Amino acid sequence: MNPSVVLFTSDLRLHDHPPLRAALETAPEVVPLFVRDPAVDRAGFAAPNRLAFLADCLTDLDAGLRARGGRLVVRQGDTVAEVRALVREVDADEVHMAAGYSAFARERERRLRHALESDGRRLYVHDGVITVLPAGEVTPAGGADHYALFTPYYRRWSGVPLRSPAPAPRTVRVPAGVRSEAVPSRADVPSVSEGLAVGGERAGRERLTAWMARQVDAYQDRHDDLAGDATSRLSPYLHFGALSAAEVVHKARAAGGAGAEAFVRQVCWRDFHHQVLNARPDIATEDYRPRHDRWRHGKGAEADLRAWQEGRTGYPLVDAAMRQLAYEGWMHNRGRLLAASFLTKTLYLDWRLGARHFLGLLVDGDVANNQLNWQWVAGTGTDTRPNRVLNPVLQARKYDPDGAYVRRWVPELADLEAPSIHEPWKLAPHERASGDYPEPVVGLADGLARFRRARELD
Ligand code: FAD
């Protein structure tokens, strides 16, 4: 039998990898392929932080394959043209890849299938590789193509038996003489956030093991503690598929307990958003549930957007979160909720502006989770309470009670204690540690009144 090609996309791992497994079962040799496609950059998916993390993942994947007698083949160009050329070079009969759910991924898959079939080759697309369950596997009674609400989805999702995660293959034989470009290196990516995590399957598995052993039990009680930083930070590894989402859930269920179940519920949100995106690819740019917003624009709106992006709104918790994002390329979920609520509701600026800024920096940034979380917060998505507004001072008292998170990220306020650290505008000028910290861009009552008027709630 001829060799097979395994096309890696958002599934950069060797453990629990159904496409690689299927290829190894039928072909004596496989070509593990990654294509650096400029269309990904043009579509706006390639931000420096994600490119750097991707480089780590590819380097690690190559090392893992080499340890098993193989190696990674990297090509640059249009994915369809590159796969087709490689298939002809090695005379492969089959190509295996993971199903993707964005409009971009589905169009790529359609074009690839067409090209390969017209050459007499076969494309096998394996579902449920980047998510726990295939998007669209569970649908509501009554014929709708996706769940619009999380809780009933979670109930059904929880009842579906999981496949057992497969181990990594012991050996991978790659045909000799296949040309490859150099595996990308993080060192070649400019403008990367200083505190960006290290990517790759090995780093992801280490983090997963440590998380399950030491922290998951406390997740339910501590996941909102901003300074405690007590969430898993597995999102970038899941985003690039350096970890299998199915394996993560498997391990958490095996660990058991309230913390593990609360953690699995969060991982289910990821599947939930993928099944919405699969059914409604337009939500990447369009409102899932339009509220007929006439978002602010003009000079004042632009200045407010800039203040928010730079972490200079004058609201310490919002600013701390935005500065964490810039420094780490990652932000705590509670920070994301607050920063997004502040932009869309208190400042009444279009969620797409916020989503674009996040996608420019987030190492875990993806269309399904970023756009749909933004829409959830803006009230144009799947939230059943679309007009809730988070108050940054109340949120600070609850989730950063002694101000440690603000002190970590906003050095201008580092000498202040709670409660004044959360409301520095109440201090007399001589009581403020540093004169550099800005006054609030808008009063909370004014912001709230503007939002309620715009949504015609009064
Ligand atoms: P944990 O709390 O440890 O959760 C475990 C895993 O569950 C995460 O790694 C993630 O894969 C998943 N998860 C948790 N919460 C959510 C959620 N609300 N939606 C979807 N999946 C979730 N997550 C992304 O992966 N990519 C994004 O681009 C993204 N953008 C967001 C934008 C906004 C405005 C908001 C409010 C949230 C966004 N999230 C996004 C969801 C969430 O904030 C991150 O997944 C989480 O903070 C990652 O940290 P963690 O791995 O420590 O999460």
Write out the residue limits of the CATH 1.25.40.80 domain(s) in the chain: 131-160+202-279
Write out the residue limits of the CATH 3.40.50.620 domain(s) in the chain: 4-127
Calculate what percentage of the chain has a pLDDT beyond 90: 95
Torsion of CA 448, 451, 302, 329, to 10 degrees: 70
Which residue's CA is the nearest one to ligand 1's atom 49? 233
Peptide linkage before 386 cis (omega within 30 of 0): no
Q: Which atom of ligand 1 is found nearest the CA of 336?
A: 36
- Does the structure show a pLDDT above 90 at 332? yes
- pLDDT given at position 434: 64
Fold entry, domain 4-127: Rossmann fold (3.40.50)
Which residue's CA is the nearest one to ligand 1's atom 32? 370
* Dist. CA 260–CA 249, nearest whole Å: 9
**What ranges in 362-443 are assigned the alpha helix state H?**
372-378, 392-399, 404-409
Q: How far does the centroid of ligand 1 lie from the alpha carbon of residue 224, in Å?
A: 12
Q: How far does the centroid of ligand 1 lie from the alpha carbon of residue 333, in Å?
A: 6
Q: How far does the centroid of ligand 1 lie from the alpha carbon of residue 317, in Å?
A: 19
Please answer whether residues 259 and 29 qualify as being in contact, where contact means their C-beta atoms are separated by less than 8 angstroms. Answer: no
According to DSSP, the residues that pair with 33 across neighbouring strands are: 7, 73
Mean pLDDT of the chain, nearest integer: 96
Write out the residue limits of the CATH 1.10.579.10 domain(s) in the chain: 299-454
Query: Across residues 87-95, what is the average pLDDT?
Result: 97
Q: How far does the centroid of ligand 1 lie from the alpha carbon of residue 454, in Å?
A: 29
Calculate what percentage of the chain has a pLDDT beyond 70: 99
Calculate the CA 57 to chain-centre distance: 15
* Dist. CA 293–CA 301, nearest whole Å: 15
Q: How far does the centroid of ligand 1 lie from the alpha carbon of residue 266, in Å?
A: 8
Calculate the CA 180 to chain-centre distance: 29
Q: pLDDT band for position 433 (50/70/90)?
A: low
Which residue's CA is the nearest one to ligand 1's atom 3? 232
* Dist. CA 5–CA 172, nearest whole Å: 12
The pLDDT tens digits for 66-80 are: 999 999 999 999 999
- What the block records as the tokens of 427 is 């201090």
Q: How far does the centroid of ligand 1 lie from the alpha carbon of residue 176, in Å?
A: 41
Please answer whether residues 455 and 387 qualify as being in contact, where contact means their C-beta atoms are separated by less than 8 angstroms. Answer: yes
Q: Do you know the residue count of the chain?
A: 458
The pLDDT tens digits for 358-412 are: 999 999 999 999 999 999 999 999 999 999 999 999 999 999 999 999 999 999 9
Q: pLDDT band for position 1 (50/70/90)?
A: confident
299-454, superfamily in CATH?
DNA Cyclobutane Dipyrimidine Photolyase, subunit A, domain 3 (1.10.579.10)
Residue that has been written with the tokens 């809780």 in this structure? 151
Best residue among 224, 373, 380 to mutate for probing ligand 1, ranked by most atoms within 8 Å of CB = 373
Best residue among 220, 224, 324, 333 to mutate for probing ligand 1, ranked by most atoms within 8 Å of CB = 333
Burial of 65 (0-12, 13-18, 19+ CB in 10 A): buried
- Does the structure show a pLDDT above 80 at 99? yes
Dihedral angle sign, alpha carbons of residues 75, 123, 23, 98: positive
- What the block records as the tokens of 126 is 């394996």
Q: Which atom of ligand 1 is found nearest the CA of 239?
A: 25
Please answer whether residues 24 and 170 qualify as being in contact, where contact means their C-beta atoms are separated by less than 8 angstroms. Answer: no
Q: Which atom of ligand 1 is found nearest the CA of 365?
A: 28
- Does the structure show a pLDDT above 90 at 42? no
Best residue among 344, 364, 376, 388 to mutate for probing ligand 1, ranked by most atoms within 8 Å of CB = 364
Terminal Cα-to-Cα distance of the chain (whole angstroms)? 71
- Does the structure show a pLDDT above 80 at 250? yes
Q: How far does the centroid of ligand 1 lie from the alpha carbon of residue 284, in Å?
A: 17
Q: How far does the centroid of ligand 1 lie from the alpha carbon of residue 296, in Å?
A: 28
Q: How far does the centroid of ligand 1 lie from the alpha carbon of residue 359, in Å?
A: 13
Which candidate, 323, 318, 327, places its Cα nearest to that of 345?
318
According to DSSP, the residues that pair with 73 across neighbouring strands are: 33
Query: pTM of the predicted model, to two decimals?
Result: 0.98
Which candidate, 89, 75, 80, 150, places its Cα nearest to that of 118?
80
The helix/strand/coil state of 75 is: strand
Q: pLDDT band for position 41 (50/70/90)?
A: confident
Report the chain's C-alpha Rg in angstroms.
23
Which residue's CA is the nearest one to ligand 1's atom 17? 269
131-160+202-279 placed in CATH 1.25.40.80? yes
Burial of 1 (0-12, 13-18, 19+ CB in 10 A): exposed
* Dist. CA 6–CA 8, nearest whole Å: 6
Which residue's CA is the nearest one to ligand 1's atom 10? 235
Residues in contact with ligand 1 by the CB-under-6-Å rule are 223, 231-235, 238-239, 263, 266-267, 269-270, 273, 333, 336-337, 340, 358, 362, 364-366, 369-370, 373-374, 377
The pLDDT tens digits for 275-321 are: 999 999 999 999 999 999 999 999 999 999 999 999 999 999 999 99
Calculate the CA 144 to chain-centre distance: 26
